[in-house]
Amino acid sequence: MRKLMITLVAAIALTLTACAAGPKHTSNDAKAAIAAAEHETKRAAKKLYEWRDTKKIIKKAKKALKAGDYDKAVKLAGKAKSQSTMALIQAKQQAGAGPQF
């Protein structure tokens, strides 16, 4: 019984470890994520609410893409897109900001 339990626990641990690795991203995934981030950044720039580091993050994502680290490229592009989306929300929220007379 003890050997069975040890084997079962080991099998579960190996399964969870394999699942934790998750799916690997492809070059096309990274390119699409970077394109989406660039599009959202352009939208934020049109509203004059582009955040300071967003383009730097996109540049790092492109560098990761060239290096073949697609997971990192997708992660960085997602972060940049998220920043641009938040910048657009900020622009909308602060549209009427200013002194109230």
Rg (CA), the chain: 21
The model's pTM is 0.74
Please give the pLDDT value at position 7.
56
**pLDDT bracket for residue 6 (50, 70, 90):** low
Pick from 45, 76, 71, 43: which is nearest to 59 by CA?
A: 76
Write down the mean pLDDT value for the chain: 85
Please give the pLDDT value at position 54.
96
Per-residue pLDDT tens for 44-57? 999 999 999 999 99
Please give the pLDDT value at position 41.
96
**pLDDT bracket for residue 67 (50, 70, 90):** very high
